[in-house]
Amino acid sequence: MKTKPNIYHEKQSRQLCALHTLNNLFQKSDTFTKALLDDLCLQLTPNSWINPHRSIFGLGNYDVNVVMAAVQLMDCEMVWWDKRRKITPHDVNSAVGLILNLPSPSKVGGLLFPFKTKHWLAIRQFDSVYYNLDSKLSSPETIGDVQQLIEHLTRHLDEDDCELFLVNSTKPCTLAVAEQM
């Protein structure tokens, strides 16, 4: 039986799931920091008293524009998946990783609110096996091979208000392939 690969996995803190998703996706603890994501918010909307790209309380809850800008800093791009299309192995095999943005219960401490917020999570492939790197999990969760991944993604995309993004390298193919080796 194959041993589980050594996978970097940050756990949820405050409303920083976007930060944890990015670090889990790129497999390094300090790839991104809260300060860097806050700076991206300011670059996206300078001179604004209330920044629309994060929580007004400064606890995180970053929007898609911040996540996309952060991904671009890593020579990658986020491509929104049109959920009306069927996912094929070709679609996901060439991606560096996947990001899901899905509805999540809103709670503070033990108090549950009647509305939902959005939660970011990363999915990556290691040794031909896909893993869910959700920061709300205690450790990475095995999804399985590409067919099991497609089933997993399809179940999520059938939910209301769930979005999928493919993260692709923008480097020339030969450089991107060489870096993965």
Helix (H) or strand (E) holding 77: strand 76-80
17, 41, 76, 91: which is the annotated catalytic residue? 17
- 17 noted as active-site residue: yes
Closest CA to 69 of 100, 93, 45: 45
Exposed / middle / buried, residue 99 (Cβ in 10 Å: 0-12, 13-18, 19+): buried
pLDDT per position as a tens digit, 74-118: 999 999 999 899 999 999 998 999 999 987 766 666 666 655 678
Question: What phi and psi, each to the nearest 5 degrees, are found at residue 125?
Answer: -105, 135
- 119 noted as active-site residue: yes
pLDDT at residue 155 greater than cutoff 80: yes
9, 20, 119, 152: which is the annotated catalytic residue? 119
Exposed / middle / buried, residue 177 (Cβ in 10 Å: 0-12, 13-18, 19+): exposed
Can you read off the two tokens belonging to residue 150?
A: 């497609």
Domain 16-169, CATH 3.90.70.40 — does that match? Answer: yes
Q: Is 115 helix (H, G, I), strand (E, B) or coil?
A: strand
- 158 noted as active-site residue: no
pLDDT per position as a tens digit, 9-59: 988 777 788 999 999 999 998 899 998 888 887 887 877 777 766 776 666
- How far is the C-alpha of 101 from the C-alpha of 118, rounded, in Å? 6
Sheet with 141-144: strands ordered across: 76-80, 163-169, 97-108, 111-126, 129-132, 141-144
What global pTM score does this model have? 0.84
